[in-house]
Chain A
Amino acid sequence: MHEWALAEAIISAVSQIAEREGLKEVREVGLRIGELQQVDREVLGFALSQLKSGKLSNAKFTMRTVRARFKCRVCGNKWLFREAKVSEDVKESIHFIPEVAHAYFRCPRCGSPDFDISSGRGVWISSVRGVK
């Protein structure tokens, strides 16, 4: 699982934000977890709890899953990742580099690989709350 690598990136980014905003302590961090990357929330949560230190020691991480949506750039069709039939191998590849979805998926209506991942791609920090 590369949830640990993502957790490391989150901790590093939140530490930078805390420094920039002059926070003495970070209390709550909001995360948006894109469905496409199929991040294991339990593993990510555990990794975050192990990696947090200093100003982040007492930080609570809240996660919200964002549905992965696709929009065809050719015919405009919209569909959801969860509607696609995907093998475990393909899921694994998309887990590491979500863009490889373009190698495995086609628009269900026109068959084009030229589609936009309009939401739910990766992991984002939506909010950082703390004490100055």
Chain B
Amino acid sequence: MLDPRLTIIGERLKSIGQIIVVSSGKGGVGKSLIASTLALILARKGFRVGLLDLDFTSPTTHVTLGVRGLQPSEDKGVVPPEVHGIKYMSLIFYLGDRTSPLRGPEISNAFIEMLAVTRWGSLDMLIIDMPPGIGDLMLDVLKYIRGARFLIITSPSRMAFETVRKLLTLLRDLGAEIIGVIENMKMEDSAHIRREVEALGERFLGEIHFDGRVENALGDVDALLKTDFAKEIEKILEENVMWR
């Protein structure tokens, strides 16, 4: 018995310039917010951008983007709706407000199904928001998405970085391409994370300070893009020449 979906995934992703996987070893460090804001900034700059929320059990990018009343359309597959210039895909379209208690093999199956049926078309960049940790989905992304590049997010916490260190080690061991590490929610001056990242031989891309205005800007993308949070992401983006 052969699962036919596995052979079509490469075909579905072949017209995408770059696939950027936003991940962290720890939850609550701002992955989803950074992934969504990054997609918004890139779309405003004129890039053709897609955003895929792979946090199947706790998706949240739709909250940041204020996605309401939208559904993918059907044309020989599933065509993601456009949200603020971003082609957007999330399990939320099929779940509504319901929770989805999924075990590992089910998460893998949902992932394969989504990649096999979603028709992204031609994109400059696909941003993937990952669930926290080094679990089934991380292994699936490494297995099925060739050429994925990993953007790692940490907070200043040594606890968060402890998990990030493990993630970086795994990605390096598996030969994955690591773009670099962003330190988010910075509240005090400290070069601790920068030193740790550089000691591992990886790129420290920059820091984003804690911005209390972000919470009230969730769902309002114009307000979000005016926050210092978004401006700092844009600065990191420019300093690193779009990471190319």
Contacts of B95 in A (CB 8 A): 93, 100, 103
- A93–B109 Cα distance when bound, in Å, is 15
Contacts of A96 in B (CB 8 A): 78, 94, 113, 117
Q: How far does the Cβ of B92 sit from chain A's closest Cβ, in whole Å?
A: 10
Q: How far does the Cβ of B228 sit from chain A's closest Cβ, in whole Å?
A: 37
For chain A residues 1-20, which have a beta carbon within 8 Å of chain B?
Answer: 1-2, 4-6, 8-10, 12-14, 16-17
Q: Which of B98-106, B182-190, B199-207, B208-216 binds A? A: B98-106
6 contacts between A and B (CB under 8 A): A5-B77, A8-B8, A12-B11, A14-B4, A97-B110, A114-B103
Q: Is the CB of A99 within 8 A of B113?
A: yes
Whether B140 sits at the interface, judged by CB under 8 Å, is: no
Q: Is the CB of A99 within 8 A of B8?
A: no
For chain B residues 1-25, which have a beta carbon within 8 Å of chain A?
Answer: 1-8, 11
Measured as residues with beta carbon below 8 angstroms from the partner, the interface class of chain A is 20 to 34
Whether A121 sits at the interface, judged by CB under 8 Å, is: yes
For chain B residues 111-125, which have a beta carbon within 8 Å of chain A?
Answer: 113-114, 116-117, 119
Q: Is the CB of B116 within 8 A of A9?
A: yes
Whether B74 sits at the interface, judged by CB under 8 Å, is: yes
Contacts of A97 in B (CB 8 A): 91, 94, 110, 113-114
Contacts of B78 in A (CB 8 A): 2, 5, 96
Task: Give the residue among A4, A94, A97, A124 with the most B Cβ atoms within 10 A.
Answer: A97
- A32–B98 Cα distance when bound, in Å, is 30
In the complex formed, the residue of A with least CB distance to B76 is A4
Contacts of A4 in B (CB 8 A): 76-77
CB < 8 Å neighbour of B1 from A12, A17, A126:
A126
CB < 8 Å neighbour of B77 from A2, A100, A103:
A2
Q: Count how many chain B residues have C-beta atoms less than 8 Å from C-beta atoms of the other chain.
A: 32
Q: Is the CB of A99 within 8 A of B77?
A: no
CB < 8 Å neighbour of A5 from B1, B106, B117:
B117
Q: Is the CB of A125 within 8 A of B77?
A: no
Q: How far does the Cβ of B75 sit from chain A's closest Cβ, in whole Å?
A: 8
Extra 20 A-B pairs, beta carbons < 8 Å, given A1-B74, A8-B76, A123-B5: A2-B77, A2-B78, A6-B5, A6-B116, A8-B8, A8-B77, A9-B4, A13-B2, A13-B8, A32-B1, A96-B94, A99-B56, A99-B106, A100-B91, A103-B101, A114-B101, A122-B3, A123-B4, A125-B2, A125-B4
Q: How far does the Cβ of B138 sit from chain A's closest Cβ, in whole Å?
A: 18
- A8–B117 Cα distance when bound, in Å, is 10
Contacts of A99 in B (CB 8 A): 56, 100, 102, 106-107, 109-110, 113
- A122–B4 Cα distance when bound, in Å, is 10
Q: Is the CB of A102 within 8 A of B4?
A: no
Contacts of A117 in B (CB 8 A): 106
